[in-house]
Amino acid sequence: MARAFLTNPVKIDQRKQRSHAKLFNAIVAKYRAGIPFKQIEIKTFCQEAGVSRATFYRHYQNLADVIVVHFLIVIADFDQRIDALPEPNFENSSHVVVSEIEKNLDLIRLVSWSGTRQAVQSVLSGTAQQILILRDYPVARRQFISEFLGGALLNFAQEVAEAPEPMSESEVLELYRLLIPSSLS
């Protein structure tokens, strides 16, 4: 597997990073409290998160954007971890994928709760498309394959996150390696 170096690291200034963390943690708290996503009012939400509405709207169009941006941050972390591998291959890159899923179970659970599936799947498909471009995958099938992989990865992550009983990381890794063909990774 060729080194990807997919993107430059997401550059977020410290204030924006702190604001995003406050907003994301507040969304997770709302989710855990069982509050329906559509009932969250921006004004009250921002007050509870300790972020001004002006700051919120400077960086996001709506509350769903906080979740999508967090996926972009996780993908940037994933990219850096893959690029840091001495010899990226299916075995070690699949371990990175699974460990990112395990580290971000709450984020994955937020997708169904918030109705952001389409936006998140687009982000994942875009990342898959970048990988396919870097691997010189045939143009004729690149769009289909990237959309399939983005959807498959999101479905897989959601099934893991919503499993009735927690799965060990080794169980998740074994399942991932069965579902994603090594020739596409």
CATH 2.40.50 fits 12-60, yes or no: no
CA distances from 179 to 53, 66, 152 (A): 43, 30, 9
Percent of the chain residues topping a pLDDT of 90 = 65
Percent of the chain residues topping a pLDDT of 70 = 91
pLDDT (tens digit per residue) in 67-82: 999 999 999 888 888 8
What are the boundaries of each domain within the chain? 12-60, 64-185
* CATH code matching the domain that covers 64-185, chosen among 1.10.357.10, 3.40.50.1860, 3.40.50.300, 3.40.50.150: 1.10.357.10
pLDDT (tens digit per residue) in 104-126: 999 999 999 999 999 999 999 99
Q: Quote the tokens at residue 18.
A: 């702190």
Report the pLDDT value the prediction gives residue 5, as an integer from 0 to 100. 40
Report the predicted TM-score, pTM, of the whole model to 2 decimal places: 0.85
What CA–CA distance (Å, rounded) separates 168 from 166? 7
